[in-house]
Homo-oligomer: A and B are copies of this chain.
Amino acid sequence: MQAPKPIKRFAEIFAALPGIGPRQAIRLAFYFIQQGVDFAHTTAGVIADLRKIKLCRQCFYIHENPSGLCDICEDKKRDMGVIAVVEKETDVMSIENTGKFNGRYLIIGDLRKTGVLETEQRLRLQSLKTWIEKEMGGKAKEIIIALNPNPQSDLIASLIKEELKNLALKTTRLGRGIPSGGEIEFADEETLGSALERRG
């Protein structure tokens, strides 16, 4: 049975959003129809309002500042010489929530399964280089490659390290080991191995 055109068009768009499949897209369409016109209007509005959000010209994090820089890059109290390279915006939010990091970021963008740096990612690294050269005389204090610990990212991390060599006094990665509240018994070999290597 064919759904009416407005539902089909809605489902096509929504089924392509991350984490939403064709079935949920149809369910959402019916949900909107049941909620009525005002709710659809509100939802359309919150989507349209996202246009106010821009990406920082330095680190590519989100912001609404006229300067073109995000709150983190604008904050003079942060350590300007320490840069964490992360994959996505939510990683910045998670790290900020720890309250343990006072440097700046570079968001490199979603890592696909290709195991290579894509054009957009190369451009962002290039912009980091320019920024280190201009602002830090060619050498950052530290670059932390803060990618998820998995074989894919390990490969990308070494590519990034290669790209950025000679641009920092030291290049580090996040510590690996047993997570807080985790149990040795249930840790996989890889994790337990890292925990042993990085004991201290």
Contacts and interface: CB of A to CB of B under 8 A. Distances in A.
Interface of A: 1, 3-7, 9-10, 13-14, 17-20, 24, 26-33, 37, 40-53, 55, 62-64, 88-90, 92-93, 96-97
Given A4-B64, A93-B3, A50 B29 contact: yes
Contacts of A7: 50, 53, 62
Given A44-B47, A93-B1, A33 B53 contact: yes
Nearest to A110: B34
30 contacts: A1-B92, A4-B52, A4-B62, A4-B64, A6-B49, A6-B50, A6-B52, A6-B64, A9-B46, A9-B49, A13-B46, A14-B43, A17-B31, A18-B24, A18-B27, A18-B31, A19-B20, A19-B27, A29-B50, A30-B62, A30-B90, A32-B50, A33-B55, A37-B51, A40-B48, A40-B50, A41-B48, A44-B45, A44-B47, A47-B47
State the copy count for this chain: 2
Question: Lowest 5 A-B CB distances belong to which pairs?
Answer: A1-B96, A44-B44, A6-B49, A10-B46, A44-B47
Contacts of A9: 46, 49
A4 B53 contact: yes
A167 to B, nearest CB: 26
A92 B9 CA distance: 20
Nearest to A94: B1
Contact of A13 (B20, B26, B27, B42): B42
Nearest to A63: B4
Nearest to A70: B4
Nearest to A41: B48
Contacts of A48: 40-41, 44
